[in-house]
Structure 1
């Protein structure tokens, strides 16, 4: 009989679970804690805080930070890199909404023709 999974084990599969400390996140990204703080100040990512007040990052946030690092490594100023990523995210969301509206319109037209 398989053992019941604890909530802590379930959290390991959660992309939004803040599992990484600032030091570990910086190490994974091969950057500095100051870089991560700068991303927070630019409001690109907002880490959650542990009960002790320490920053905690999720895998999703690390992917965003990695994209920012790519842009900065290519010479883009950090503020501009953050703005680019925010705009890319907004564009992706607008395209998703637009596609959903097209699908709904097509379904509505098909229903009307029946």
Structure 2
């Protein structure tokens, strides 16, 4: 089996929807709201990575907790900033 980076775009929107338990419409909405940005093929087709799938699952979990999409956007940005700060600390 080949080891791939978590950010390698592998999955079409239909497969990503199935793997995440969401609908393709939800994935498009999350992208529209800036909650994730899937890669695009040369033809413009969305391609989702394992990292994208993990992010989709986190969005769905936060929605299940009753947080609206605007709030989820804030939470996700703070989580991203926290992860970046942790990476910087680890490097120093």
**Which interval holds the TM-score relative to the shorter structure?**
0.7 to 0.9
Q: 2:76 aligns with which of 61, 64, 85?
A: 85
Superposed CA deviations along residues 40-99 of structure 1, whole A, max 9, x for unmatched, are 112221111123321110101111111011001121112211220111120232233245
Under a length normalisation based on structure 2, what TM-score does the superposition of the two structures give? Answer: 0.84
Which residue does 2:66 correspond to in 1? 75
- Structure 1 residues 29 and 100, CA gap change in structure 2 (3 angstroms): same
Under a length normalisation based on structure 1, what TM-score does the superposition of the two structures give? Answer: 0.69
- Structure 1 residues 98 and 16, CA gap change in structure 2 (3 angstroms): closer
Q: Deviation at 1:100?
A: 4.2
Highest CA radius of gyration, 1 or 2?
1
Q: Which runs of 5+ in 1 are unaligned?
A: 1-8, 102-114
**2:43 is aligned with 1:52:** yes
Which residue does 1:25 correspond to in 2? 16
- Comparing both chains, which one has the higher relative contact order based on Cα–Cα distances under 8 Å and sequence gaps of 6 or more? 2
Runs of 4+ aligned residues of structure 1 deviating over 2 Å after TM superposition are 95-101
Root-mean-square deviation (Å):
1.9
Q: Which runs of 5+ in 2 are unaligned?
A: none
